[in-house]
Homo-oligomer: A and B are copies of this chain.
Amino acid sequence: MDIVRVMDELVCTRRVEGLRHHALRIVRSAQGVVSVATDAVGAPVGSWVFATTGSAARLAMPDHTAITDLTICGIIDHWGQEGPAPVGTTNPPGLAGGAKPADRT
């Protein structure tokens, strides 16, 4: 699953019927790639989350007929020995005090 950060709510009037009733989120990876995701857990803006791709993105939605290939499936508390990421941090929680993934790409 991809680790991304919720940036914003997407405003999108014209969309396919299969996405009519779903909130859409703008998410960004540590490498700076911006995508659109559906959300199965109600992740607030600013939180680091992980998202499933492909057919798993549809299975993760309460409504399996949602037309999506990227669904937020969990909100990351932290990993490793570090505590939760402070609000506003731009690094994933477990890497807050270390090198940015983008530096290593």
Contact = CB atoms under 8 A, between A and B. Distances in A.
A69 B53 CA distance: 6
Contacts of A8: 79-80, 94
What is the count of identical protomers in the complex? 5
A68 B52 contact: yes
Contacts of A18: 59-60, 73
Interface SS of chain A: mixed
A26 B79 contact: yes
Interface residues of A, number: 59
Interface of A: 1-3, 7-16, 18-19, 24, 26, 30-37, 40-42, 50, 52-60, 65, 67-70, 73-80, 92, 94-95, 101-105
